[in-house]
Amino acid sequence: MTANPLAEGIIAGRLDPAAYADHFSDLHPPLDDHEALVAADRCYFCHDAPCITACPTDIDIPLFIRQIATGTPEAAARTIFQQNILGGMCARVCPTETLCEQACVREKAEGKPVLIGQLQRYATDTLMAQGVHPFTRAAPTGKRVAVVGAGPAGLSCAHRLAMLGHDVTVFDARPKPGGLNEYGIAAYKSVDSFAEAEVDWLLKIGGITIKTDAALGRHITLAELQADHDAVFLGLGLGGVNALGVDGEDRTGVLDAVDFIADLRQSTDLSQLPIGRDVVVIGGGMTAVDAAVQAKLLGALNVSLVYRRGRDRMNASRYEQDLAASKGVRIITNASPVAIHGNGSVREIEFEYTDDTLTPTGQTFRLAADQVFKAIGQTLAGDTLPAIESGKIAVTGAGRTSITGIWAGGDCATGGDDLTVTAVAQGRDAAMDIHTTLMG
């Protein structure tokens, strides 16, 4: 009798090749020309548009949609890129359902907003496909700026500084630039190596040098960067992962969700990724949802996402929660892990129900698990950094830290909300402040 592969625990190749291709295809296929015109025609082109206020990068949304409606998507893309140079990725991963589209007048009146995110992708993809960069560098200023972290905040900062005429060197600890966009986004949200292509396109502005495998604290120091540059921007993200703090956390099969997502994103053959039969994801944010959905898409039979509070307190949007449920992920709320059981490898994880104040109720339950992914938040990693507040680099104004000449933005800095689009805005605004400071 042939063994049932679903009873073998953590294995690779649970699905046939066609299934992997289908499961990890584009979550939202791009609009064609006709669809874009129809979608753009629904916009009221509000004079005092609430969608602009809801956008962290302040894109003039009615303007770019009008430009699409008049058959000039390239002009629409320039409108977007003026405010958000990573507008292509943000169109794919930004939670528009809780930002611009939630504020849309059509949403308020009809419950069906203008497809702002998909229209933004249509415009940016059109221009990027032409290989055109919409901006040119200003005359060289002779100033040199170091950017630590090639994620959304760092790339946004570097591009704006380069556009203003400064020479920028970007240092990143990983082998490839892109940060969260390259390593931390669900694969079905950014297909066809878009993150890598976007970085290549962004660098066409000139004046930016990328140095990978250059980690702050191991390969470079803050003091060295200050000595060699006129200003420093820190966009290094959050490199540490919070621990569960329960017995058995060191058992085989208990992994960090961010590492699982990164491995999946860098894989060239999804059938080679081992996945469990019974997978449990602990957390309630976007990382938790991305890990849970992708575990299911890789062929896990049972996937449970467990969060310590109610669904209304989850950082993942209702849309993302519903997406997880539609893929077969079971969402369990008001439960905290208390122990991980097994003989060397994880076999079960024990939870205790909590009330709305996180007070344990005394009622426990166990879930079968051969793979557990931790997604309960990340922490700032590094020494000799500027002043820290609430676990992040404290900033004032447009990213100024406690050390003169050093700015910070993105997930590593206070004031953010762990969104790609917010990190882009912080990097851009810090660049403008750096430019003003350097030029007197």
**Which residues lie below 8 Å from residue 385, measured CB to CB, with a gap of 6+?**
222, 234, 393
- Residue 383 binned pLDDT confidence (cut-offs 50, 70, 90): confident
Domains 144-239+380-438 and 241-377 share a fold: yes
Global pTM value? 0.94
pLDDT at site 7:
45
- Residue 8 binned pLDDT confidence (cut-offs 50, 70, 90): low
Domain covering 241-377, topology: FAD/NAD(P)-binding domain (3.50.50)
Query: Count of CB atoms within 10 A of residue 256's CB?
Result: 19
Copy the structure tokens of residue 90.
């943000």
The answer on pLDDT for 4 being more than 80 is: no
What does the alpha-carbon distance between residue 294 and residue 94 come to, in Å, rounded to a whole number?
A: 18
- List strands edge to edge, sheet with 330-332: 254-256, 371-374, 278-282, 302-306, 330-332
**Which residues lie below 8 Å from residue 205, measured CB to CB, with a gap of 6+?**
133, 135, 136, 137, 159, 162, 163
According to CATH, what is the number of the domain 33-129? 1.10.1060.10
Q: Where are the domains of the chain?
A: 33-129, 144-239+380-438, 241-377
pLDDT one-digit tens code per residue, 249-296: 999 999 999 999 999 999 999 999 999 999 999 999 999 999 999 999
What does the alpha-carbon distance between residue 236 and residue 166 come to, in Å, rounded to a whole number?
A: 20
The answer on pLDDT for 6 being more than 80 is: no
Q: Which CATH superfamily is domain 144-239+380-438 in?
A: FAD/NAD(P)-binding domain (3.50.50.60)
